[in-house]
Amino acid sequence: MPPGVYSGDNLITWGRNNSALGDGPFCEAWKANLQNDADHTILWRRYVLACAGYHCVHLNGDFVECGVYRGTGIKTVMDYLGGRAFPKRFFGYDTFDYNPVPGHAFPGQEAGLYEEVISRFDGYPQVRLIKGLIPESFTQGLPPAISYLHIDLNSAEAEIAVLEMLFDRVVPGGIVILDDYEWSGVYRVQKVAEDAWLDKRGYRVFPLPTGQGLVLKR
């Protein structure tokens, strides 16, 4: 990309600093974890997660991702923040081997994916990957306090279930990232449901140009 220009993930900007590309440790973590074409395009989205992680690692509470797929989101953040020495537990919840959202199966979501993702985290004992349907799978284990919560399920119903179960566990100053919040079209139902849920509790989502939404817990 020419200096100052960003183009990817339905986002075109110019005259910007492209801070992600100036952050050497992030670029290293990002490149080390690229697995497919989609991973290349979502650099800015990943940097939002990395910066949220950088903030949350200083708070009480563990990290949680709902919707893990191959674990690239988790591993990029962990590798940015110490890799094997990452100082928190990181809980990841997914069905892994199939996608319960109709029409949303990703390449490789078949028997064996869970084991593949587990082996990707060899040497990362902080990671707990919990296989099963959210929210039922939360009975297999949940951290009592959460500082970082990334919700990426492509389903309004499941994402609201996560908010119901986990939002109160997010510590003051903690961050919730809603991956699809600012995407329109078929994703818009998520924003509509999340706005209604959060409005009742006096929260407004920061809509990000990456398509994500950010909630700062108090």
51, 56, 153, 215: residue in contact with ligand SAM (rule CB under 6 A): 153
Contact window for ligand SAM (CB under 6 A) among 26-34, 82-90, 154-162, 203-211: 154-162
Residue 133: CB minimum distance to ligand SAM, A: 5
Helix (H) or strand (E) holding 175: strand 170-178
How far apart CA 207 and CA 46 sit, in angstroms, is: 16
Q: Which of 77, 22, 24 is nearest to 49 (CA)?
A: 77
Tokens of 160: 């609201």
Residue from 33, 99, 190, 212 binding ligand SAM (CB under 6 A): 99
When binding is defined by CB under 6 A, the residue of 62, 79, 152, 182 that contacts ligand SAM is 152
Please give the Cα distance from 34 to 150 (Å, whole number): 19
* C-beta closer to ligand SAM: residue 81 or 134: 134
Q: Are 175 and 149 in contact (CB under 8 A)?
A: yes
- The C-alpha angle with vertex 51 and arms to 46 and 52, in degrees rounded to 5, equals 95
Least CB distance to ligand SAM at residue 53 (A): 12
Q: Is 212 in the site for ligand SAM (CB under 6 A)?
A: no
CA distance 200 to 164: 12
Nearer CB in complex with ligand SAM: 14/98: 98
Piece in contact with ligand SAM (CB under 6 A), picked from 11-19, 100-108, 164-172, 194-202 = 100-108
Residue 72 engages ligand SAM in binding (rule: CB under 6 A): yes
Q: Residue 206 half-sphere exposure, CB side, CA atoms within 13 Å?
A: 10
Of 147 and 154, the one with the shorter C-beta distance to ligand SAM is 154
Q: How many CA atoms lie less than 13 Å away from 175 in the CB half-sphere?
A: 21
Give the residue among 69, 191, 66 at the shortest CA–CA distance from 136. 66
The region of 117-125, 148-156, 187-195, 204-212 touching ligand SAM under the rule CB under 6 A is 148-156
Binding site for ligand SAM (CB under 6 A): 65, 67-69, 72-73, 93-95, 99-101, 106, 133-134, 152-155, 158
